Amino acid sequence: MLMNEGRVRCELNCGSKHLLSLIASVLIGLISLQVVAQQKLYENNVHSGMLPELSTKGTLPVGVRTFDIANGSNIDPFTQQVAPRKLKLEVWYPKADKSLKTSSYENELRSGIKFSVHADASRDAKMNASEQWPLVVLSHGYTGYRTIMYYFGEHLASHGYVVVGIDHTDSTNQDVDSINAPFAGFMSTLLNRSRDQQLVLDFFGDAANVQSVFGKSVNWSAQKAGVIGYSMGGYGALNTVGACYDFPSALLASFIQSEDEAQIKGMQAVLNTCSAGQYPQAITGKEIKTDPRWKAMMAFAPWGGQHKIFSYQSLAKVTVPSMLISGDLDDVSIYAGIEDIYAQYNSNDHYLLTFLNARHNIAPHPVPKEAWTAEIDYGHYYEPVWSQQQLNNINKHFSLAMMNCYLKSDASACEYLDLSGNSNQVKPEGGLSDPWKGFDNRYSTGMEFKKGSAN
């Protein structure tokens, strides 16, 4: 004891620097504990037999890694200056080993509060490149972040996909001050959302790029791809697969708070493009060549239809199999606008899934505990009627059906899309009809499904 007292006295009198260093180390340790403290957003609170059939986890163990890419030749059309556009990506993939070591996702709420959630994936694990896995691109809304739909990444990767979540620069919670300048990144979002999606496909379609991330032993590049977009991500996804933007003058005037005709026409010339900015909207009378690697598109609560932003002529020519998903009470993208987009399609492979009594937040992961402190945060996730976990399970089911059907040419998966009408099973004369394929009897309520055909 005397020896310990002497050591403390020495630290106080002759080693103050050492003591300060010790205190700093302890504080840093405490802070680190706060930062890495994880929360699990999903609970095993539904009997497995009642879950949508294709929402169950696949057999492949999942890896995840984060890295940056950039379009070095990007020209900012608003300034006409070369300004490299950088994107941070979160990539989920089948991993080579079967270890169960998992990680976390570090995120930020709209108010700036940071939070961490448990990841059911191993950080920086070696990729299983035994097959040419199809690619799926995840595109968040305004504002958002690359892991706001991480359940898609983990789920699809476990079934044999490489899934890429994008942090859309100028459009994330981190980049935008949602309290003091909520629309600061909106024009960049209108311009870049589709271009970012295409940039990711181009990056992963190059074997050399893939090897720069996963190592020289990986002989894989994306040749078949799907895109899943939420809100502004859906707005971009529609354009990516061939729908052309056709921004009304009055709408742009309201965005920029100006009646300057020359300025408005200049913005239309920049924004009104087709297929990820490859073609000016003015040539929509000609054939629009969407990248043939895009094989499927899912747009959750896609923004834009309420403003007639998409040219009807181009929507009628989209051939990439497409599913629109919406709440019938969507108060952001407006359900009638989403129905209007669906009505303009003219192919045998377009679908509309409707969540009855749902508003706009049909795609994000469940609410993190930190979001309880402010409505601006909580309202980014919350649905007043639906459980977010139930929505996510249904989303996983239909995403696997779409991707397996069109990216893997799995005819059995297509059967899960052969639906129509209401899911409630109620017959006018009483009793229950058969449930939707893939849903348990009596527990498939609250949805409607439409399957379109060519006229």
Question: Measured between alpha carbons, how far is 227 from 215 in angstroms, rounded to an integer?
Answer: 25
pLDDT in the model for residue 23: 41
Query: In this structure, are 363 and 437 located in the same domain?
Result: yes
pLDDT in the model for residue 204: 98
In terms of Cα–Cα distance, which of 31, 38, 30, 148 is closest to 102?
Answer: 38
pLDDT in the model for residue 296: 98
Query: In this structure, are 129 and 173 located in the same domain?
Result: yes
State the average pLDDT over residues 322-343: 98
Query: In this structure, are 269 and 206 located in the same domain?
Result: yes
**Does residue 78 sit within a domain?**
yes
Question: Measured between alpha carbons, how far is 82 from 378 in angstroms, rounded to an integer?
Answer: 38
pLDDT in the model for residue 13: 41
**Does residue 47 sit within a domain?**
no
Query: In this structure, are 146 and 248 located in the same domain?
Result: yes
Q: Which of the four pLDDT bands, split at 50, 70 and 90, describes residue 5? A: very low
Query: In this structure, are 23 and 104 located in the same domain?
Result: no
Q: Which of the four pLDDT bands, split at 50, 70 and 90, describes residue 289? A: confident
- What are the φ/ψ torsions at residue 161 (nearest 5 degrees)? -135, 155
To the nearest whole percent, how much of the chain has pLDDT over 90?
79
For residue 235, pLDDT over 70 is answered with yes
State the average pLDDT over residues 146-173: 98
**Does residue 43 sit within a domain?**
no
State the average pLDDT over residues 444-453: 95
pLDDT in the model for residue 281: 61
How far is the CA of 443 from the CAs of 167, 187, 358, 365, 388, in angstroms? 35, 42, 17, 21, 16
Q: How deeply is 55 buried, as exposed, middle or buried, from its count of CB atoms within 10 A (0-12, 13-18, 19+)?
A: buried
pLDDT in the model for residue 37: 73
**Does residue 41 sit within a domain?**
no
**Which residues make Cβ contacts (< 8 Å) with residue 66, sequence separation at least 6?**
88, 89, 90, 91
**Does residue 250 sit within a domain?**
yes
Query: In this structure, are 18 and 130 located in the same domain?
Result: no
State the average pLDDT over residues 52-73: 95
**Which residues make Cβ contacts (< 8 Å) with residue 339, sequence separation at least 6?**
305, 326, 352
Query: In this structure, are 29 and 90 located in the same domain?
Result: no
Q: How many domains does the chain have?
A: 2
State the average pLDDT over residues 408-413: 98
Which segment of 74-83, 281-290, 388-397, 404-413 scores lowest on mean pLDDT? 281-290
State the average pLDDT for the chain: 90
pLDDT in the model for residue 314: 92
Instruction: Name the residue with higher pLDDT: 206 or 8.
Output: 206
pLDDT in the model for residue 34: 43
Instruction: Name the residue range of residue 26's domain.
Output: 1-36
CA quadruple 336, 138, 317, 278: dihedral positive or negative? positive
Q: Which of the four pLDDT bands, split at 50, 70 and 90, describes residue 340? A: very high
Query: In this structure, are 319 and 181 located in the same domain?
Result: yes
pLDDT in the model for residue 35: 47
Which segment of 33-37, 158-162, 219-223, 271-275 scores lowest on mean pLDDT? 33-37
Amino acid (1-letter code) at residue 4: N
